Copies of this chain bind each other. A is one copy, B any other.
Amino acid sequence: MSLALPDGFDADLGRYMTGLGRAARDAAAILAHAEPQQKNAALGAIARALDARREFILDENRKDLAVAAGAQLAAALTERLELNPARIDAMIEGLEQVAALADPVGEISELRYRPSGIQVGKMRVPLGVIGIIYESRPNVTVDAAALCLKSGNASILRGGKEALHSNQAIYQCIRQGLHDAGMVEAAVQVIGTADREAVGLMLQMDDAIDVIIPRGGKSLIERIAGESRIPVIKHLDGVCHVYIDGDADPRKAVEIADNAKNRRYGVCNAMETLLVDAAIAATVLPEIIARMRAAGVELRGCERSRALDATLGKASEDDWYTEYLAPILALRIVDGLEAAIEHIDRYGSRHTDAIVSENYSRTREFLRRVDSSSVMVNASTGFADGFEYGLGAEIGISTDKLHARGPVGLEGLTSQKYVVFGDGHVRR
């Protein structure tokens, strides 16, 4: 390893990681009660440091790209790894957007008088130290650091090894910004070694880290969740469904199916399976199939849909479980709401599911019974997103039920403690 490591690095990885943990814990105690303007000043200073060192960042990124080329990294991964002036602009804009968000820390809500005379409410507070583990996307380094900082949390970031030079270059800018703003520098720490052991150690540091957020593919996230001694906020996959009910408005059904699939293919909120009530299949499917074909989407249908249109491909049992993240759509004709809910319950991933229907009772039933992080009526699954929901930012989408569910923004990076105001009150 020729790369310069952060101050205090020790050849012994265990000691290095312990040092990061201690520094993060100390930083968290300061950050937790930093004023909003201090945190925003730091975000601004980081943006300026990135802007001032664009050439350095691109040079370091080229080193990573050269290694990637040598290692014959897949084109999609290389595409995510590559930085350019526009991507640096986007990082800077991202920092400015996060700075402009309302500060979540210290907000007191539900403050009410109780019969005893005390006033009880909840105050929003940071979680402490957040560990983020992600793949080789250098922009995540800036995003994650900014959201943790704004929410008053110290962060320990671990990016993919292919982006090591890029991430360390960005980290230098982050440290510079923190320093310039007079903020404790260990507020953000980016792990400076490609050693895979570092992740294993990180997941055992339950004294130093309060929550782990993995970002990346399902296998990475499953491995982390299985290994971690620290609570994990995670999102496994998005096998999202649109169910077109027998009482759907055909116009809405076609537009929503088209948008849910064709807006973007590689995103977790894209529709992967379309369920259509048999009662309306003949009405809506021809146009939907035409739209999908026009967009170049491969269609894999159940037996009943293939009876309606013999040109459809054939769906296997596996297709119902699959998050394609690609221009492929599984298509199934079902007998009404009950069968649709059963399908979603069995094959879905509890991410986002939508019903298209004008029927009052069935939309209510779908909303109540579908156990997904977002459940929609007459809207495209593509809306499942922190910005669209008004969170202002998003660090990920949680398919867990505890703590944070659905798009996770600044609130999901905080907790609430009870605050009690009395005037000498004692409990009888």
Contacts and interface: CB of A to CB of B under 8 A. Distances in A.
Interface stretch (A44-52, A181-189, A304-312, A379-387): A379-387
A387 to B, nearest CB: 9
A410 to B, nearest CB: 15
Instruction: Tell me how many chains of this kind the complex includes.
Output: 2
Residue from A385, A390, A426 with most neighbouring chain B CB atoms (10 Å): A426
A422 B377 contact: yes
Interface string A104-145: 001000001010101010010101100000000000000000
A259 interface: yes
A35 to B, nearest CB: 10
A231 B372 CA distance: 19
A426 B369 contact: no
B374 A417 contact: yes
Interface in A372-420: 372-380, 382-385, 388-390, 401-403, 405-407, 415-420
A180 interface: no
A423 interface: yes
A318 to B, nearest CB: 20
A63 interface: no
A118 B388 contact: yes
A347 to B, nearest CB: 15
A42 B36 CA distance: 50
Interface of A: 29, 32-33, 106, 112, 114, 116, 118, 120, 123, 125, 127-128, 210-211, 231, 249, 251-252, 255-256, 258-260, 263, 345, 354, 367-369, 371-380, 382-385, 388-390, 401-403, 405-407, 415-427
15 contacts: A33-B369, A114-B389, A118-B388, A120-B389, A258-B426, A259-B427, A372-B417, A373-B418, A375-B419, A376-B419, A376-B420, A378-B423, A378-B424, A382-B427, A405-B415
